[in-house]
Amino acid sequence: MKKIILFDLDGTLIDSTEAILESFYHTMKVHGAQSSLSDTMITSQIGHTLETMFSGVGVDNAQIGAHIATYKLYYREISRQKTLLLPEAKEAIQEAASFARLGIVTTKTGVYSRELMEHFGLMHYFEVLIGREHVENPKPHPEPIFKALGEMGNPKLSTWMIGDTRLDIEASNRAGIECVAVTSGYDKAEQLQTLTDIIKPNALEAVKYIAQRG
């Protein structure tokens, strides 16, 4: 029986930093925000929901919904042109598919995430994609993982998550599955080490590690 591997997206398989930054600055400009917004302020929150990210840069709660709507419209227009696969991400997916069933669990909007993976010609490797709109409670809550596994038939097999932030590790721990953290994304190694000692440089090395586990 095959193992299950659930992948995060941003910082794990794809680099959409440019698209995210441009969409944030566009949104803040549209809504007339006067702030000292910086690249670091934005990228430090990638992996969280848009609600959390906009709140984190000082947007009033009453205005967050409007900001998100503007962001999503703009992001969808530019995301395919300004998102890249991370090095060896394609190889990681192909290697994983040779011995495991695959899914994606992300806090990005699911419909846009699916469009991106179809654009890269990789969506057919995945049985399920769980995005922000598919759950009430995003990572680090375990609900997205449970949702993915439920759509895969609740397999009673070895299940792993590969992700680049503490949100991925915490969600995995709370869901009772294994997690391999990667340093190809937004959390630094020392941050990841607060929750796990299984850390690899990228998704391909994470997949190789999982393949060797019983």
Amino acid, single-letter form, for residue 134: H
pLDDT at residue 199, as a whole number: 98
Report, as an integer, the average pLDDT of 171-188. 97
Sequence-distant contacts of 144-147: CB under 8 A, at least 24 apart:
144/105, 144/106, 144/107, 144/171, 145/6, 145/105, 145/171, 145/172, 145/175, 145/177, 146/175
Contact 89, 68 (CB under 8 A): no
Domains of the chain: 3-15+84-212 (3.40.50.1000), 17-78 (1.10.150.240)
Top-confidence residue, 214 or 211: 211
pLDDT at residue 1, as a whole number: 74
- Three-class DSSP category at 39: helix
Report, as an integer, the average pLDDT of 73-95. 96
- Tell me how far apart the 2 most distant CA atoms of the chain are, in Å: 55
Helix ranges restricted to H, 100-202: 110-119, 143-151, 166-175, 189-192
Top-confidence residue, 146 or 37: 146
pLDDT at residue 34, as a whole number: 60
Report, as an integer, the average pLDDT of 111-136. 97
Residue whose structure tokens are 């759950």? 135
Cα 57–chain centre separation? 20
Token pair listed for 26: 């566009």
Report, as an integer, the average pLDDT of 108-128. 96
Report, as an integer, the average pLDDT of 185-214. 96
Token pair listed for 163: 């992700």
| DSSP 8-state class, residue 45 | T
Q: What is the pTM of this model?
A: 0.93
- Three-class DSSP category at 161: strand
159 HSE (CA, 13 A, CB side): 21
Amino acid, single-letter form, for residue 96: A
Token pair listed for 177: 């599955």
